[in-house]
């Protein structure tokens, strides 16, 4: 396992198979697809930043890498992807084995270029706040203070704009000093860029050009007309603060039997159009703060009548969702527009009710936006997450813009697509597989927004046909991958990160061991989680449990060690040994068991899953559990109900929630105040340790998880119990250990699951 | 009649007056009045009189009477040559030969004289035809007459008569008379209107005009002044038509006396003889309005028992005592006796209509209208026709029942309302109950008159802030006007205000925020408009006064650099409407450019009209129609929600008033037009207009209906309102300046001696939020005598009626046709009179009914007015038409026949005189090159400065010895000298009278502005149009043609 982690440290890549099945047939037999989870902007220590433009293959445009074969005397390099021989240009003529440019150093398989020739003015990042006002005063109060804090943290040069909405959309003209001035758009209509241009006075006093793309200062808009709406924080801080300070509940009256009329869709459409008009192509985020369901205009998710419930998973399954499809279609359109403009949509949804995350998911995910779901704007999950976005420091997100991600691979590989926060640029090529997963049929993707943790899951297709000739002595048994990521670094400059990988492949029978050795079960679990989520959303009548089970059984059949028809003989190599456990937990996770959650929550969980790296994904699938007691130091324990004991504190990290769970005795002692007594310092320490660890987790995680502190038998304990393996249930034959707990469920426990697996695998 | 009340001068008038009444019966000799005779003659002609008249049977080559005149003039030669002779003859005839003339002579004094006014020319026309060598047109008859005296007469008659005009006798004979007499000598032949002939074929027309000048002079000195003033009056009195009210001052009296004889003279050949040898018709003697201003206030009682007095002229100064009929200010009928049946009405060719001005300003000395509260019972009404209780309802059966004066139904008196009858069969309490003794009362409306709570007074201001508006200063002017004017809004808890500005988008302002600045809320979508807030756009005035004032102060600077040239007028009013929709209210829009964007946007049709000449020539009036139905549809919706829109157009370009005016006219609003807008001179007027608009007596969410006695029915309403059901009109707002014309037709007969009742009820909400019903009653006697109709005709109302009809026709009918119709109206009426009421007199005389003697003059003025001129700008004409649509009877006449007074000699007026000097006739002859004159029509005031004015006068008036550099759009200043003070007093007095601030313009002789001024000289001959004298000739000729043809 550790070697996979090392590889990840070097390149930010985890692959399901680090030794690849060499032919299509082999790959099919391997069940788990060949896939890579790549974190393009993963901070890599000592990564060189080359101040010049990369050298590229004449034919396939691949970038010179350590895997290129260099003929120092002829000053020629061979491209490992297309085998084209390229001459080095003049300035590389001093190249020799002793005098290598950094990009040829073997350890620099990942490297960055930043062209100094880039003379374009640095465009500061743009933040367009889109703020819901259909909320109770209390929520508005929370939101105001959060926004005010955020404004303080904004980079000085960042441009900022403000839109508020309720029944109508109000665009605040922050650059107008005399009065508070706002443009009011109808909530029931989508707004186009053209309308914005016409209606907001961008051509005042000038003739509108009749042809050509009109947008941005480069295309004829005066800087003044843009700076009415978007201007540096330093210049508008006062106005902005006063507007925020005076934010009020949407003034349109709401009858008691109706929901507020909230035009989220129209507001976002206006925001997108304004950004499209003012700053197309430069990094900008729409940050939407939404406090309830959209009920008005495009993208509405529910009628205003309070007696009509908001769609549930059940409704989605039955297809009885009059608003859903229309809303999704609207957001698809919006996402296309945003992708085209290179802008990001972030969503901060804070409401007890659903707000329509499920519908907006497409727009958020395709643009690489951030999503935070909380119950209230006063909740730490929201407040701290918002701060985290703007905070600089150790755990900053490193928000970057305008990424374009491209892939080169050896010709025997094809790309099915990417599962993750990106949008296809529809650049078709021979590398595209016919099978499409996620954003496919392309070799280039747009990542409007990306940060240091954004992780893409690339799913490959092994295209090499098996057969006698293929089995002949291969010229090379290496596959090469090259990932190119152009992006606007948060310093404003464009950069290119190049990661070039090589992986050995094996073909034919008898290579099971080699394949097993290269199997990264964590990566596989993460990939399976993304895949199953994707299929649940996109394939009709998809049965995720069955699909997961069958995949697991087939995998175990192929790689397990057993005698046919003898379940007890079944063993798995350590490389695969915990994979069944991952699948077991995945089956029980929020990604698959959606009915415990609202569609909004599911969408939220999946979006986070789809942008996180393997380690985080594993936590989401199979939470970690740490026990604290007087008997021993903090130790990881099995995610099992038996881990519960009266004198233990458990710390559960399920990624979205961090639970500190006190056993009964601990809780009693604490309630008795022992930890405040000097003679019980140890107890105080015991109480504090899990809290400290939880803080550490919370501090480095984004979105900030919800912290639940609970006691055994308390109502909040459900956050823990739901994640534990129900090895002891109310109808188990074995009684719980004294002080232990039972789980009231009919779900099978892991042991039962394994029994079945063994039985089926050996058939 | 209420004679006694009058000033001393009255007496004389009295003396004459009586005859008038009697007149009808009396003088057998008099051709005029007697009904019987008239009736008799008609037999031959079918009643449908007008028709025959119109269709001139005459073989005349020119089908259009109108067209003739011009031709006649110049070319006339051909046809008229004869006339010359003929004229002479005719004149003579009239003068001499005709028995009629004699009779006249006698009459005037004694009795009848009044009505018929024989026009001098009459003769000429006839003659032409006749005398003209058989120049076909005119039937033979004239011929005969002329002959009689031809030669000799020619010369004499003409001159002699001149002055006479005064009342009745316009006949030429009078003309010639005294004054004229002497000087004209040489020209005799020429001089006369018709006369010209003697000599060659000069068109009769030609000569007259020529003649004028010479004539003018002599008379001026002596006769002119007197005539114009007193003479008329005197005669009028005789007519009996005119209220005794205005008595001429002593001095005048004399004059009138003088004139009278003159008149007499005119008629009689003798007179002529006396006169001497007048050659021309003296323009001084043709009928002209009586200057009213010099006479003292007249008292007028609307009824005396069963006697209904005809009201004083609308333009005069009078005080009304409501004694059963409502004040004539509120309702004025075109005739003060109602024809018993439709035939008589048709025969008279006169319109039967009411001018209803429900909120007309009372004279300060009049009693206020009384408010009657019937409590929960609500006002007593006729069960069948729903008419409100009024003094003409007859109580019977000891007061237990009452008979409706409109439908005749016998109602049970509500128990609480029963009261015994006195010996006079009136209720004993009749005099204590306003609703039983006053023509006008207000009832407190009960719940059943409300579909909702009465609305508050809501004013929403919409200001154009597009580039041009800001650039020309219109925005600043509007803001400052609003700012000043809101302080005059009657402030109650009910008074609400709001404001928005607009260019290519609409900017609302939230004034609600107690703590700080208002918030500007922009509605950018001008195709699909909405209000950005539901509340807080309109707030109680008391809560936002300061914020609003500050905002208004900052708006001009806020938009100082606005580069947006477009203006979304339609969208803005729609948005304003949406803001007002919940309550209703007044939307005051300040617009500066052609609405070019959004809903109801307009194109520059004027330019199209210019470039696409062929099209424009074919149907130029199309450009005076609304461009499309959009604004109309919107306006109807506005009206439905009780939103009234007033539009202030402060512009320097074409703004398509034809289209825009639909909005105010449908919603009970009006257009104010400042063209070309001047930031220097117009703000004051704007402020005053706005202030008056807000502070004048007015009501909201009104519904009006006019009921009348069985026998008549309402034919049509016309004015600024919206009509959704046939019987009622909806007035989102109604104010003291708006008049609604209601026309009637017969659906049955009245009994002779019966009275016809009219009742106008208007349900409205006061500015203080009270729901009221104002009920106005008018009961007029019915008659079968055509002569009575003419005698009781009300010129002001009739002329208003023509004016409004002409304005209505402008957008749909070619201009020539409109003018033709107007002239035909005039001819038909006079023709009818001539035919049925004055048939005895010689056809050589143009005989005018006393009451309508000015009709030809006003008709001429009307066809020369801005709206009916070919050369007018489209917007000017559209504005004129829209202005006229709601104009009151008292302002209708001045609008087309403005008042001209001299300024330079103001200081010579004596103390004690009224502020305003006597007006001068609208003829260039009266303008002296050394003089400064003021001409005002209630809208504009033109100050004409002659070419040789004493610099001292200029210095006094304008603060500068020369007019170099004095802008034509004048800002009147008061300097420390007598003349300037007086001048300012004059202007202020006019403003007060007209309820209008007047746009002052300086017109200098020899400059375009001077030309403009001259276009108001309606009596002058102008290219393509007749002089007054020529016009009379034309009218006379047409009448003759009609008469002959029948």
End-to-end CA distance of chain A: 29
Residue in chain B closest to A202 (alpha carbons) equals B564
* CA count, 13 A, side-chain hemisphere, B1003: 24
State pLDDT tens for residues A360-376. 999 999 999 999 999 99
Mean pLDDT of chain A: 89
- Alpha-carbon distance of B940 to B685, in angstroms, equals 11
Q: What pLDDT was estimated at residue A688?
A: 92
**What is the token pair recorded at B1021?**
């001959």
For an interface test with A, the pick among B467, B471, B501, B520 (most A C-beta atoms closer than 10 Å) comes out as: B520
Q: CB–CB of A185 and B521 under 8 A? A: no
Do β-strands A231-232 and B585-591 pair in parallel, antiparallel, or remain unpaired?
unpaired
Q: DSSP per residue over B140-173, as a string?
A: HHHHHTTTTSHHHHHHHHHHSSGGG-SSS---HH
Q: DSSP per residue over A32-43, as a string?
A: SPPEEEE-TT--
Higher pLDDT, B970 or B15: B970
Q: Is the ipTM of this complex over 0.90?
A: no
Q: Which of B643, B752, B684, B601 is nearest to B941 (CA)?
A: B684
* Inter-CA distances, A165 with A140, A242, A367, B529, Å: 12, 17, 22, 17
End-to-end CA distance of chain B: 38
Q: Give the residue-averaged pLDDT of B97-106.
A: 33
Q: What residues of A are in contact with residue B525 (Cβ under 8 Å)?
A: 185-186, 189, 195, 199
Q: What residues of B are in contact with residue A186 (Cβ under 8 Å)?
A: 525, 528, 530
Length of chain B as a residue count: 1046
Q: CB–CB of A181 and B518 under 8 A? A: no
If residue B478 lies in a helix (H) or strand (E), which one and from where to where? helix B474-486
Q: How far is CA B347 from the centre of its chain?
A: 24
Q: What pLDDT was estimated at residue B1012?
A: 86
Q: What residues of B are in contact with residue A184 (Cβ under 8 Å)?
A: 508, 521-524, 530, 532
* Inter-CA distances, A568 with A500, A554, A561, A761, Å: 44, 17, 11, 11
User: How many C-beta atoms lie closer than 10 Å to residue A558's C-beta?
Assistant: 15
* Inter-CA distances, A721 with A651, A724, B1002, Å: 12, 5, 96
Question: What is the crossing angle of helices A521-538 and A614-621, to 10°?
Answer: 70
Q: What pLDDT was estimated at residue B491?
A: 65
DSSP state of B94: I
- Alpha-carbon distance of A745 to A737, in angstroms, equals 18
* Inter-CA distances, B454 with B635, B694, B699, B702, Å: 22, 19, 11, 11
- Alpha-carbon distance of A183 to A185, in angstroms, equals 7
Contact A440, A418 (CB under 8 A): yes
State pLDDT tens for residues A500-516. 999 988 887 778 888 99
Q: CB–CB of A199 and B524 under 8 A? A: yes
For tokens 């006769």, what's the residue? B223
Most confident of A63-67, B123-127, B218-222, B289-293: A63-67
Q: What pLDDT was estimated at residue B1008?
A: 84
Q: What pLDDT was estimated at residue B344?
A: 92
State pLDDT tens for residues A69-94. 899 888 899 999 888 899 999 888 88
Q: Give the residue-averaged pLDDT of A278-286.
A: 89
For an interface test with B, the pick among A204, A225, A253, A274 (most B C-beta atoms closer than 10 Å) comes out as: A204
Interface A–B counts its CB contacts (< 8 A) at: 73
Q: What residues of B are in contact with residue A185 (Cβ under 8 Å)?
A: 524-525
Q: Which of residues 380-419 of B touch A (CB under 8 A)?
A: none
- pLDDT over threshold 60, residue B978: yes
- Alpha-carbon distance of A600 to A350, in angstroms, equals 11
Q: CB–CB of A205 and B523 under 8 A? A: no
**What is the token pair recorded at B198?**
């003697």
Q: What pLDDT was estimated at residue A38?
A: 95
- In sequence order, which residues have a C-beta less than 8 Å from that of residue B133 and are 6 or more positions away? B81, B82
State pLDDT tens for residues A468-498. 555 555 567 888 999 999 998 888 888 999 9
Task: Please give the radius of gyration of chain B, using alpha carbons only, rounded to the nearest integer.
Answer: 29
Beta strands in B376-494 (DSSP E): 394-396, 401-403, 410-412, 440-444, 458-464
Q: Which of A755, A731, A577, A722 is nearest to A641 (CA)?
A: A722
- Alpha-carbon distance of B526 to B576, in angstroms, equals 12
Contact B96, B19 (CB under 8 A): no
Q: Would an 8 Å CB–CB cutoff place B520 in contact with chain A?
A: yes
**Torsion angle in degrees (nearest 10) through CA of B154, B156, B159, B160:** -130
Q: DSSP per residue over A300-324, as a string?
A: --S-SBTTSPPP-HHHHHHT--TTH
Q: What pLDDT was estimated at residue B99?
A: 35
Do β-strands B458-464 and B440-444 pair in parallel, antiparallel, or remain unpaired?
unpaired
Chain A nearest C-alpha distance from B519 (Å) = 5
For an interface test with A, the pick among B516, B519, B598 (most A C-beta atoms closer than 10 Å) comes out as: B519
Contact A488, A406 (CB under 8 A): no
Length of chain A as a residue count: 763
Q: What residues of A are in contact with residue B524 (Cβ under 8 Å)?
A: 183-185, 195, 199-200
For tokens 């295309």, what's the residue? A219
Q: What pLDDT was estimated at residue B472?
A: 94
Q: Give the residue-averaged pLDDT of A412-427.
A: 92
Q: How confident is the model at residue B685 (pLDDT cuts 50, 70, 90)?
A: very high
- Weakest-pLDDT range from A495-509, B75-89, B452-466, B520-534: B75-89
- Alpha-carbon distance of B115 to B740, in angstroms, equals 29
Q: What pLDDT was estimated at residue B487?
A: 81
**Torsion angle in degrees (nearest 10) through CA of A445, A449, A451, A456:** -30
- Alpha-carbon distance of B360 to B699, in angstroms, equals 12
Contact B244, B1 (CB under 8 A): yes
For tokens 């007056």, what's the residue? B17
Contact A555, A579 (CB under 8 A): yes
If residue B1043 lies in a helix (H) or strand (E), which one and from where to where? helix B1028-1045
Q: Give the residue-averaged pLDDT of A521-537.
A: 94
State pLDDT tens for residues A652-695. 999 999 999 999 999 999 999 999 999 999 999 999 999 999 99
Higher pLDDT, A97 or B99: A97
Q: CB–CB of A182 and B521 under 8 A? A: yes
Chain B nearest C-alpha distance from A219 (Å) = 20
For an interface test with B, the pick among A191, A196, A199, A225 (most B C-beta atoms closer than 10 Å) comes out as: A199
- Weakest-pLDDT range from A59-73, A114-128, B410-424: A114-128
Contact B168, B231 (CB under 8 A): no
* DSSP bridge pairs for B702: B731
- Alpha-carbon distance of A693 to A651, in angstroms, equals 8
* DSSP bridge pairs for B333: B354
For an interface test with A, the pick among B524, B550, B558 (most A C-beta atoms closer than 10 Å) comes out as: B524
Residue in chain A closest to B505 (alpha carbons) equals A199
Q: What pLDDT was estimated at residue B283?
A: 65
Q: For CA atoms B832, B836, B838, B843, give the dihedral sign.
A: positive
Residues of chain A that touch chain B, judged by Cβ-Cβ distance less than 8 Å: 168, 170, 173, 176, 178-186, 189, 195, 198-201, 204-206, 251-253
- Alpha-carbon distance of A103 to B974, in angstroms, equals 92
Q: Would an 8 Å CB–CB cutoff place B430 in contact with chain A?
A: no
User: How many C-beta atoms lie closer than 10 Å to residue A362's C-beta?
Assistant: 23
- Alpha-carbon distance of B254 to B271, in angstroms, equals 19
- Alpha-carbon distance of A699 to B389, in angstroms, equals 87
Q: CB–CB of A184 and B521 under 8 A? A: yes
- pLDDT over threshold 50, residue B846: yes
- pLDDT over threshold 90, residue B346: yes
Q: What pLDDT was estimated at residue B492?
A: 67
């Amino acid at each position: 396992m550790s070697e996979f982690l090392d590889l990840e440290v070097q390149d930010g890549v985890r692959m399901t198979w680090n030794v690849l099945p060499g032919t299509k047939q082999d790959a099919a037999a391997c069940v788990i697809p060949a896939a890579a989870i790549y974190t393009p902007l993963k901070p890599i220590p000592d990564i060189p930043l080359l101040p010049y433009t990369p050298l590229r293959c004449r034919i396939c445009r691949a970038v010179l890498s350590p895997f290129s074969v260099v003929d120092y005397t002829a000053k020629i390099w061979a491209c490992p992807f297309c085998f084209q021989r390229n001459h080095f240009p003049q300035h590389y003529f001093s190249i020799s084995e002793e005098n290598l440019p950094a990009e040829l150093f073997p350890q620099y398989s990942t490297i960055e270029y930043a062209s100094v020739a880039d003379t374009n003015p640095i465009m500061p990042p743009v933040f367009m706040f889109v703020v819901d006002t259909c909320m109770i005063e209390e929520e508005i109060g929370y939101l105001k203070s959060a926004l005010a804090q955020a404004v303080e943290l904004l980079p000085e040069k960042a441009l900022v704009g403000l839109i508020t909405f309720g029944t109508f959309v109000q665009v605040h003209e922050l650059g107008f000093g005399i009065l508070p001035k706002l443009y009011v758009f109808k909530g029931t209509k989508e707004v186009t860029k053209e309308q914005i241009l016409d209606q907001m006075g961008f051509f005042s006093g000038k003739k509108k050009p009749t042809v050509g793309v009109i947008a941005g200062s480069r295309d004829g808009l005066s800087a003044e007309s843009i700076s009415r709406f978007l201007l540096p924080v330093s210049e508008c801080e006062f106005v902005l603060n006063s507007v925020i300070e005076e934010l009020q509940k949407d003034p349109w009256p709401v009858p008691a039997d109706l929901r507020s009329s909230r035009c989220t869709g129209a507001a976002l459409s206006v925001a997108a159009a304004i950004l499209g008009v003012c700053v197309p192509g430069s990094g900008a985020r729409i940050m939407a703060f939404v406090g309830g369901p959209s009920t008005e205009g495009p993208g509405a998710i529910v009628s205003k009548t309070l007696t009509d419930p908001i769609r549930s998973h059940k409704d989605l399954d039955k297809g009885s969702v009059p608003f859903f499809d229309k809303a999704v279609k609207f957001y698809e359109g919006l996402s296309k527009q945003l992708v085209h403009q290179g802008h990001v949509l972030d969503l901060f949804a804070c409401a007890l009710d659903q707000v329509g995350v499920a519908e907006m998911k497409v727009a958020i995910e395709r643009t690489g936006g951030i999503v935070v779901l909380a119950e209230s704007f006063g909740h730490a999950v929201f407040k701290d997450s918002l701060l985290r976005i703007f905070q600089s420091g150790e755990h900053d997100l490193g928000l970057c813009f305008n990424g374009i991600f491209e892939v080169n691979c050896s010709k025997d590989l094809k790309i099915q697509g990417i599962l993750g926060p990106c949008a296809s640029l529809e650049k078709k090529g021979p590398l595209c597989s016919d099978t499409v997963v996620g954003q496919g049929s392309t070799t280039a993707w747009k990542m409007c927004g990306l940060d240091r943790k954004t992780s893409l899951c690339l799913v490959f297709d092994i295209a090499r046909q098996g057969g006698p000739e293929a089995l002949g002595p291969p010229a090379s048994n290496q596959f090469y991958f090259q990932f190119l990521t152009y992006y606007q670094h948060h310093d404003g400059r464009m950069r290119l990160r190049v990661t070039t990988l090589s992986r050995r492949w094996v073909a034919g029978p008898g290579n099971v061991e080699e394949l097993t050795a290269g199997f990264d079960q964590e990566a596989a679990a993460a990939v399976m989680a993304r895949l199953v989520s994707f299929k649940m959303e996109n394939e009709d009548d998809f049965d995720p449990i069955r699909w997961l089970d069958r995949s697991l059984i087939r995998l175990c059949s192929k790689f397990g060690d057993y005698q046919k028809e003898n379940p007890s003989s079944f063993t798995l190599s350590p490389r695969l040994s915990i994979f069944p456990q991952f699948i077991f937990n995945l089956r029980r996770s929020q990604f698959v068991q959606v009915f415990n959650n609202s569609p909004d929550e599911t969408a939220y969980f999946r979006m986070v899953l789809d942008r996180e790296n393997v380690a985080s994904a594993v936590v989401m699938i199979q939470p970690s559990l740490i026990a604290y007691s007087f008997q021993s130091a903090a130790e990881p324990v099995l995610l099992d109900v038996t881990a519960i004991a009266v004198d233990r504190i458990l710390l559960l990290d399920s990624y979205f929630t961090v639970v500190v769970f006190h056993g009964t005795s601990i809780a009693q002692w604490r309630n008795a105040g022992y930890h405040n007594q000097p003679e019980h310092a140890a107890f105080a320490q015991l109480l504090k340790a899990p809290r400290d660890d939880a803080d550490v987790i919370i501090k480095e995680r984004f979105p900030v998880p919800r912290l639940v502190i609970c006691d055994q038998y308390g109502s909040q304990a459900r956050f823990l119990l739901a994640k534990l393996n129900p090895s002891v249930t109310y109808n188990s034959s074995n009684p719980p250990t004294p002080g232990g707990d039972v789980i009231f469920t009919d779900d099978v426990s892991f042991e039962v699951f394994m029994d079945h697996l063994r039985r089926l695998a050996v058939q | 009649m209420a004679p006694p009340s009058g000033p001393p001068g009255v007496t004389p008038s009295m003396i004459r007056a009586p005859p008038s009444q009697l007149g009808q019966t009396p003088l057998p000799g008099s051709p005029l009045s007697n009904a019987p005779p008239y009736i008799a003659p008609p037999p031959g002609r079918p009643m449908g009189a007008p028709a025959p008249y119109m269709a001139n049977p005459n073989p005349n080559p020119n089908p259009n009477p109108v067209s003739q005149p011009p031709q006649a003039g110049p070319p006339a030669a051909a046809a008229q040559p004869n006339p010359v002779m003929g004229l002479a003859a005719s004149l003579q005839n009239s003068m001499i030969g005709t028995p009629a003339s004699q009779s006249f002579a006698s009459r005037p004094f004694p009795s009848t004289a009044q009505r018929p006014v024989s026009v001098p020319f009459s003769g000429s026309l006839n003659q032409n035809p006749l005398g003209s060598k058989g120049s076909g047109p005119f039937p033979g008859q004239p011929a005969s007459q002329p002959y009689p005296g031809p030669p000799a007469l020619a010369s004499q008659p003409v001159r002699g008569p001149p002055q006479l005009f005064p009342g009745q006798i316009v006949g030429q004979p009078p003309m010639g008379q005294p004054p004229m007499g002497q000087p004209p000598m040489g020209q005799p032949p020429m001089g006369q209107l018709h006369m010209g002939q003697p000599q060659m074929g000069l068109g009769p027309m030609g000569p007259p005009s020529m003649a004028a000048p010479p004539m003018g002079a002599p008379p001026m000195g002596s006769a002119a002044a007197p005539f114009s003033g007193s003479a008329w009056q005197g005669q009028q009195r005789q007519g009996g038509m005119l209220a005794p009210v205005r008595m001429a001052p002593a001095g005048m009296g004399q004059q009138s006396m003088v004139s009278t004889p003159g008149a007499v003279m005119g008629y009689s050949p003798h007179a002529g003889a006396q006169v001497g040898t007048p050659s021309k018709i003296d323009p001084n003697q043709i009928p002209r309005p009586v200057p009213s201003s010099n006479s003292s206030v007249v008292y007028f009682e609307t009824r005396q028992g069963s006697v209904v007095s005809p009201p004083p002229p609308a333009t005069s100064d009078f005080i009304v005592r409501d004694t059963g009929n409502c004040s004539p200010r509120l309702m004025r009928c075109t005739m003060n006796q109602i024809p018993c049946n439709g035939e008589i009405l048709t025969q008279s060719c006169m319109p039967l209509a009411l001018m209803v001005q429900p909120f007309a300003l009372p004279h300060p000395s009049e009693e206020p209208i009384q408010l009657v509260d019937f409590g929960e019972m609500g006002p007593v009404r006729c069960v069948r026709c729903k008419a409100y209780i009024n003094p003409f309802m007859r109580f019977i059966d000891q007061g237990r029942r009452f008979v409706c004066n409109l439908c005749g139904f016998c109602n049970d008196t509500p128990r609480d309302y029963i009261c015994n009858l006195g010996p006079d069969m009136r209720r004993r309490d009749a005099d204590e109950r306003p609703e039983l003794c006053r023509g006008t009362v207000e009832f407190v409306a009960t719940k059943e008159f409300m579909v909702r709570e009465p609305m508050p007074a809501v004013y929403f201001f919409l200001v154009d802030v597009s580039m041009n508006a800001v650039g020309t200063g219109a925005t600043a002017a509007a803001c400052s006007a609003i700012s000043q004017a809101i302080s005059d809004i009657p402030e109650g808890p009910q008074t609400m205000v709001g404001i928005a500005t607009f260019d290519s988008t609409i900017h609302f302002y939230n004034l609600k925020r107690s703590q700080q600045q208002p918030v500007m809320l922009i509605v950018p979508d001008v195709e699909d408009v909405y209000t950005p807030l539901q509340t807080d756009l309109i707030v109680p005035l008391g809560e936002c006064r300061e914020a609003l004032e500050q905002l208004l102060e900052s708006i001009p600077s806020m938009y100082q650099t606005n580069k947006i040239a477009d203006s979304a007028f339609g969208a803005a009013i729609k948005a304003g409407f949406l803001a007002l929709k919940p309550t209703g209210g007044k939307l005051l829009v300040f617009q500066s450019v052609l609405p070019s964007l959004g809903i109801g946007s307009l194109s520059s049709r004027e330019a199209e009209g210019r470039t696409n000449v062929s099209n424009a020539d074919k149907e130029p009036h199309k450009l005076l129609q609304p461009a499309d139905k959009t604004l109309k549809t919107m306006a109807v919706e506005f009206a439905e929600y009780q939103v009234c829109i007033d539009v202030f157009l402060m512009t320097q370009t074409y703004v398509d008033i034809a289209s825009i005016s639909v909005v105010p006219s449908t919603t009970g609003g009006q257009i104010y037009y400042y063209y070309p807008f001047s930031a220097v001179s117009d703000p004051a007027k704007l402020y005053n207009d706005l202030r008056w608009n807000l502070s004048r007596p007015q009501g909201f969410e009104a519904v009006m209906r006019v009921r009348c006695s069985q026998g008549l029915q309402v034919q049509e309403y016309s004015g600024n309102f919206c009509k959704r059901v046939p019987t009622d009109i909806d007035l989102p707002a109604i104010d003291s300046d708006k008049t609604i014309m209601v026309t009637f037709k017969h659906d049955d007969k009245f009994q002779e001696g019966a009275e016809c009742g009219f009742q106008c009820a208007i349900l409205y909400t006061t500015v203080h939020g009270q729901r009221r019903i104002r009920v106005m009653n008018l009961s007029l006697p019915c008659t079968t005598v055509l002569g009575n109709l003419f005698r009781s005709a009300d010129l002001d109302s009739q002329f208003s009626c023509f004016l409004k009809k002409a304005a209505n026709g402008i957008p749909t009918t070619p201009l020539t046709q409109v003018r033709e119709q107007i002239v035909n109206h005039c001819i038909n009426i006079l023709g009818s009179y001539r035919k049925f009421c004055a048939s005895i007199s010689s056809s050589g005389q143009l005989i005018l009914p006393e009451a309508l003697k000015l009709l030809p003059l006003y008709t001429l003025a009307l066809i020369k007015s801005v709206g009916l001129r070919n050369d007018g700008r489209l917007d000017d004409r559209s504005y004129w038409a829209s202005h006229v649509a709601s104009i009151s009877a008292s302002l209708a006449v001045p609008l087309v026949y403005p008042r001209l007074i001299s300024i330079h000699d103001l200081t010579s007026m004596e103390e004690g005189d009224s502020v305003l000097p006597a007006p001068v006739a609208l003829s260039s002859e009266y303008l002296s090159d050394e003089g400064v004159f003021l001409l005002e029509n209630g809208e504009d005031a033109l100050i004409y400065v002659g070419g040789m004015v004493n610099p001292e006068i200029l210095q006094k008036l304008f603060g500068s010895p020369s007019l170099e550099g004095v802008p034509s759009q004048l800002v009147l200043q008061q300097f420390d000298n007598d003349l300037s003070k007086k001048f300012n007093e004059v202007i202020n007095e006019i403003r007060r009278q007209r309820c209008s601030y007047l746009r002052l313009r300086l017109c200098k002789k020899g400059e375009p502005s001077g030309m403009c001024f001259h276009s108001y000289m309606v009596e002058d001959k102008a290219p393509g149009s007749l002089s007054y004298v020529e016009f009379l000739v034309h009218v006379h000729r047409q009448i003759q043609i009609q008469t002959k043809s029948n």
